[in-house]
Chains A and B, each alone.
Chain A
């Protein structure tokens, strides 16, 4: 029996104009397929000049945005959905604006007493005004090596590099600035890499089993993320229960502190001492064949189709305007 309830159609949005368009298209295809397996009618759409008229024509539809990178995760499109009263899966625009920008998200999360890496966010103009040599030295002295350099607003590890000595820093900065005008420089935290998805099917957020990530190359870069077979995933992560619980609690806390909704994925490093450290959060996590969230969903015992259908129903029930945020932290898996 199809479980589309009273839904007319789900509009799966993918593609867009970001550097992650290719990943987004793959996420969109997978989720579309998953929803159709539940008997739900799906229209797949890119973001272009026909989108708004399509939204108007398909009354009663719910939007499932799977746009990665800017113009998908920065909240702008979601503001438009809210303006038009179109229900959609995922966080509201204002929450996305905070979450997508690593420099802001880390600050907000850190202020909630969640451990975060020491971080500095700098637009390239600062290097121009103050002198790159002086700043590079200051960064080395204050943050220390190794350090991670990342574009402040980008995903899929694009533009990210690990810097082990001062000589490497200028090229790493130029690489990060190729993706945006602000870069974050943060301490490199050694440890076990895990990611925890949080989902809310309408009865409060729950943390799914943590996925431990072990790339063959040692670096979870773009190639490791999107080449099938290049990374080993363990779900649940191979850590003791107390650490598992701590990671789940952290992800739930991040989801709440940043005012996220429906679905998020928090990337964490577990230090050798067993302490989870927040790295970043995704409001539109990847749903490709090599992505962690579908694996976590499957490990938890659901199919991707069931989970996506539940998220869509929750969004439909909520309607097209923001509801007051839930006060509770939520439950761990």
Chain B
């Protein structure tokens, strides 16, 4: 039934409203104050349209997943074990998936016992819980420059200060890290951990060499620096065997985050944390406070898939598919990018990191790109300190090779137009000097291809 309303309300009903259109405005925690709408992020709503070639999102391409196998596994799971799988479970995660996780980690030389593993709701939650148990507001987390937007969002939500440290073509630069640590300790700052993505970095596309990993760990030992290794892409390298994980080279100093999102499918939300006993105990308590337990059905589904399907073979299928897309991206960039543009050459994973010709601002250019029906993520999304406008991240994981090449063609035209603008109006101030409070809010959501 609808409420009765007068046809003509009349002047006597006119009372001034003084409102912010948010009844709870005075009740939010301080950490919520930065949660604002972003015009750039809103543009990614357009990226969903089929007319737009989106090179922005990081959605894995699971077209090659054998749905008949997955369907059969899920059907058997419900019929044979449904009452357990649909019930509450352990806050640490179910034993059979933790055993399977240890088998998966062995591919990257990690030797672990299932008791060392805690299952999380995606590795994103694992990172969130780690930050929750380690970081007080104002603590420093060291990240690569650039770093994963999802991680920056977690650190921001716990009011950490992020200090970025330079990378090169081999990943995190150890001497830059050493310099940063010295400066922070001189300033009396509390550094809680280093967050690093050693393999096929998101967004930079680079991989830490084995020598670099050893150097990094040596420094971490000397400085007693905790290292959080986030490794969703380690098994998606295109050449040779995976490089040993940091965790396999140092058990004491490294906490490891793993995920099935890219090697199986993200929708199940199954990740894990491999941590020393004392840390793990606290993580489990934090997990129980957050979710009671990670989803038992999802864990059971993933475990059943691993037990009943050639998952190693499936990863190979994914690798070849992503390699083809990487090649299309590199071909497209080589053909269509204007002079002065450079990019990383990823040996695996999903992403290429572009450096634009001087004066071009990827953040300011995105609306023009959307008009030209191509989307990317401006580099500013991957920095907590406002830098990154001379860069952009391009993903090749989801579109077809043909669409990837078309996307680079459109992007090339946009860059040429932008360069014309710069010629007309004079070279802009070096964008890196124009810091803005941007960062994680400027990226698309995970459900955007």
Contact = CB atoms under 8 A, between A and B. Distances in A.
Count chain A CB atoms within 10 A of each CB in B20, B37, B422 and give the residue with the most.
B37
A301 B10 CA distance: 8
A133 B420 CA distance: 15
Nearest to A226: B37
Contacts of B6: 301
Given A25-B45, A156-B39, A158-B367, A299 B15 contact: yes
Given A132-B425, A299-B15, 16 more contacts: A15-B45, A17-B52, A124-B424, A128-B420, A133-B426, A158-B39, A171-B429, A173-B425, A174-B422, A175-B364, A226-B37, A226-B42, A232-B20, A301-B10, A302-B9, A303-B3
Nearest to B47: A21
Interface string B400-441: 000000000000000000001110111011000000000000
A300 B39 contact: no
A51 interface: no
B87 interface: no
B87 to A, nearest CB: 36
B5 A233 contact: no
Interface residues of A, number: 61
Nearest to B39: A222
Interface in B1-47: 1-3, 5-6, 9-10, 13-22, 24-25, 35-39, 42-43, 45-46
Interface in A225-252: 225-236, 238
Interface string A80-105: 00000000000000000000000000
A230 B36 contact: yes
Interface string B40-75: 001101100101100000000000000000000000
A79 interface: no
Given A17-B49, A159-B367, A306-B5, A301 B425 contact: no
A164 interface: no
B444 to A, nearest CB: 11
Contacts of B9: 300-302
A179 interface: yes
A170 B5 contact: no
Nearest to A295: B17
7 contacts: A22-B43, A171-B429, A173-B425, A222-B37, A228-B21, A231-B20, A300-B9
Contacts of B366: 178
- Identify whether the interface residues of B are mostly helix, strand, loop, or mixed: loop
A3 B36 contact: no
A209 B16 CA distance: 9
Contacts, number: 141
B368 interface: yes
A147 B9 CA distance: 41
B21 A290 contact: yes
Count chain B CB atoms within 10 A of each CB in A1, A2, A128, A171 and give the residue with the most.
A171
B270 interface: no
B20 A234 contact: no
Contacts of A228: 20-22, 25
A16 B2 CA distance: 31
B19 A295 contact: yes
A17 B1 CA distance: 37
A234 B18 contact: yes
B49 A236 contact: no
Contact of B19 (A221, A232, A305): A232
A78 to B, nearest CB: 21
Contacts of B2: 1-3, 37-39, 305
A127 B20 contact: no
B20 A23 contact: no
Contacts of B370: 19
Interface string A160-194: 00000000001101110111100000000000000
B42 A23 contact: yes
A170 B13 CA distance: 49
B42 A170 contact: no
